[in-house]
Amino acid sequence: MSDNKKVYREKNDSMPKLKNGSKKKANSSGTKQIKGTDYNKRLMTKNVVRVKNKFSYKDLAVKICSISLSLILIVIMILNMPIIAYNKNVNGQVINENVSIITYLKRWQPLVDTEGELSAVDITDINEETKKDDDKLDLPQIIEGQYTVLFLGFDESSEMNDVNWLFQFNIGNGTMNVLQIPRDSFMPYYTSSYTAKFNSIYSSGDGEVSPIQRVVNAVQDNFGIPIDAYVTTNCYDIVSIVDLIGGIPITLDEQMMYEGDKIIPAGYSVLTGEQAEWFVRYRRTFKGEGDIARMKNQRKFLAAAMKKMLNIVEDEGKTKFYGYLKKIYDNRYILTDMSLEEISMLADFGSTLNLEQVQVHLLPGEGAWYYPEGHSRQSVWSVHKQEALDLINNNFRPYQIPLTAERSSLIELVTEHLTDFNDNSSDNLEDIDNGNTNTPSIDSY
């Protein structure tokens, strides 16, 4: 057999046989032919696989997003369900209610552990003619329409409260009143110290009562002003707070020499935190009534600080202002029984006031000598009782009936007054900021 025939036979042998035994004819190239239908099916199968591979990641992403969204919605529902028991003080009464986790966290008081919570107060002398039913501010108030905060500023020992201010936010009338209580105020029934001074109540007194509660009791019993909350701070923390907000702008008529080279120059300056501490503690050249003159001088700082707060809100926005509050709160520059939300609500109300709507008052009285048995004489502030009650009734008890001398625990050490110089020393912050006040100059005492 020739070679050509041999090759031809091999080609024929490789051809597939038909059902009748004959062989299927090969194409010209000798390769296997595929029916058009089979080819199309295979091509479609490949395309389907490709399509499935192309969209599988998108389908997976959609499923993950759907599951995540469902979980988020479930978590939100749980966070908003009233499942936590919470005690709320409303007008002196403790009300039990169930709140959501979110509400509980907003009302959380992480700074209350050091000083503790205040005891509930039962108010029975509401003035029916002036009382407020709803002041539209969702705060746990003892008396609707007002919110009173006791502010104590401590020295380096954190035991002597040398700055004692009572801030009353009159929400119903859109004003604020501040009462300055001299640290040497004579209050013998509330301290075990022989000095009988107001600033010894915190560190010396009834051991069955917390230090902050002792001070609150003294204020409430003597002045008839229910305290909703407290804020305490240390002189070192004032430094941190002032530096945090970028300083306090202030204008002084004369330079203030705290000690040595610690000098605040006359004219306009922005107080650093350290300089702010010098300013509020300064009493060196206030002759005669050094501490009382210092308290009046501190009004200048209060006016400047209030003005700074209003400028932050106006220039930088409330979000920035609330950010400062949060840093002060988180860094524990203050101790308080208020939550951050409650502080923010009060600050929001304060930002609606102008300087003229904030009035500062000094507790009426005069300096006197107290002679405790077995100890050296003490320089104290003898409160002028009736003048003090008049001041309190007119400014700090807007929704209560007037407090009488019989219902007040105030002790008047000197009944025959030698001076009435400090019986009417009220100023608003606008006048203080403009210098139109009876606050002392550096050399006036």
Q: What does the DSSP assignment read for 122-150?
A: ----B-TTT--S--S-----SSTTEEEEE
Q: At what angle do helices 290-315 and 318-330 cross, to 10 degrees?
A: 130
- The shares of helix, strand and coil residues in the chain, as percent rounded to the nearest 5, are 40, 20, 40
260 compared with 322, residue with greater pLDDT: 322
Beta strand extents in 129-255 (DSSP E only) = 146-154, 161-170, 175-180, 229-234, 248-252
User: How many Cα atoms occupy the beta-carbon half-sphere of 159 within 13 Å?
Assistant: 6
**Can you give the pLDDT at residue 413?**
97
| pLDDT class of 259 with cuts at 50, 70, 90 | confident
pLDDT, tens digit, 9 for 90 and up, residues 357-400: 999 999 999 999 999 999 999 999 999 999 999 999 999 999 99
d(CA 70, CA 72): 5
pTM beyond 0.85: no
* The predicted structure's pLDDT at residue 419: 94
What strand order describes the sheet that includes 358-362?
Answer: 335-336, 229-234, 146-154, 161-170, 175-180, 358-362, 427-428
Residue 270's contacts (CB-CB under 8 Å, 6 or more residues apart) are 246, 247, 248, 249, 250
Cα–Cα distance for residue pair 400/225, rounded to 1 Å? 9
Q: pLDDT averaged over the chain?
A: 84
**Out of 7-21, 139-153, 196-210, 379-393, least confident range:** 7-21
The Cα 340–Cα 348 span in angstroms is 12
| pLDDT, position 273 | 97
> Which of 89-103, 105-119, 195-209 comes out lowest in average pLDDT?
89-103
Percent of the chain with pLDDT strictly greater than 90: 60
Residue 444 has pLDDT above 50, yes or no: no
| Range scoring the smallest mean pLDDT among 112-121, 283-292, 374-383 | 283-292
Q: Which amino acid is at 279?
A: F
User: What domains can you pick out in the chain, each with its CATH number?
Assistant: 108-434 (3.40.630.190)
| HEC per residue, 257-277 | EEECCEEECCEEEEECHHHHH
Residue 318, token pair as written in the block: 């409330």
Cα–Cα–Cα angle for 82, 83, 88, rounded to 5 degrees: 70
Decide: helix, strand or coil at residue 197.
strand
Q: Calculate the alpha carbon distances from 213 to 158, 182, 203, 399 in Å.
A: 16, 18, 11, 23
Length of the chain: 445
Backbone φ, ψ for residue 306 (5° rounding): -65, -40
Kindly give, in sequence order, each residue whose CB lies less than 8 Å from that of residue 85, ignoring residues fewer than 6 positions away.
96, 97, 98
- 358-362 vs 175-180, strand pairing mode: parallel
Instruction: Report the distance separating Cα 185 and Cα 120, nearest Å.
Output: 25
Of 5, 26, 7, the C-alpha closest to 15 is 26
Nearest to residue 292, comparing CAs of 233, 365, 238?
365
Looking at per-residue pLDDT, the higher value among 14 and 279 belongs to 279
86 membership: H or E segment, kind and range:
strand 84-90
